[in-house]
């Protein structure tokens, strides 16, 4: 198999991530996260403090996804709250045994990102009356170091 867009992500505390979760959303949000702080001086002048590397603004992963989960998957995802996780987004190679496959990935690869998993209030809601299936809105914030 080759690198392609998929309907799932890989998310786990292990590197590389092996757990798979189905994703449900209207469109992908490719907005990067940046380390920028703006403040005003007493005179009103704007002061901007930003993280740069070689004259370029450093960009970070800042993904928000809605996952479709079973009750067991929901419980597993809840346990990830606040933890450092490894995340492989939609664009990846699922060939488990081929070169460049998931087994060969690590956080040093272009596919796997180290992130902190967070949930806002109201992020975990049931899809059906029996509460067997759930929508889980997860926010993944880049935890990688800038080199």
Q: Is residue 124 part of a domain?
A: yes
Work out whether strand 124-126 and strand 133-142 pair parallel, antiparallel, or are unpaired: antiparallel
Q: Is residue 117 part of a domain?
A: yes
Q: Is residue 26 part of a domain?
A: yes
State the pTM of this model: 0.77
List, for residues 23-76, the tens digit of each pLDDT value: 886 667 778 888 899 999 999 999 999 999 888 898 888 888 899 999 999 999
Q: Is residue 37 part of a domain?
A: no
Q: Which of 108-131 are b and which e, b meaning 16 or more Cβ less than 10 Å from the residue's Cβ?
A: eeebbbbbebebeeebbeeeeeee
Instruction: Tokens for 108, please give them.
Output: 């040093």
Q: Is residue 64 part of a domain?
A: yes
Q: Is residue 10 part of a domain?
A: yes
> What mean pLDDT do residues 1-19 have?
81
Q: Is residue 40 part of a domain?
A: no
- Residue 113: which domain range? 4-32+60-142
Q: Is residue 41 part of a domain?
A: no
């Amino acid at each position: 198999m080759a690198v392609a867009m998929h309907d799932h992500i890989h998310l786990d505390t292990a590197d590389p991530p092996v757990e798979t979760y189905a994703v449900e959303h209207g469109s992908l949000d490719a907005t990067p996260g940046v380390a920028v702080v703006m403040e005003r001086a007493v005179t009103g002048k704007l002061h901007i403090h930003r993280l740069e590397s070689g004259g370029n603004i450093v960009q970070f992963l800042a993904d928000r996804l809605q996952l479709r989960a079973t009750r067991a998957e929901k419980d597993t995802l809840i346990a990830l709250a606040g933890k450092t996780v490894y995340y492989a987004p939609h664009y990846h190679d699922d060939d488990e045994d081929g070169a460049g496959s998931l087994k060969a990935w690590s956080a040093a690869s272009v596919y796997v990102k180290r992130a902190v998993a967070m949930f806002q209030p109201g992020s975990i809601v049931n899809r059906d009356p029996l509460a067997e299936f759930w929508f889980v809105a997860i926010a993944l914030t880049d935890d990688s170091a800038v080199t």
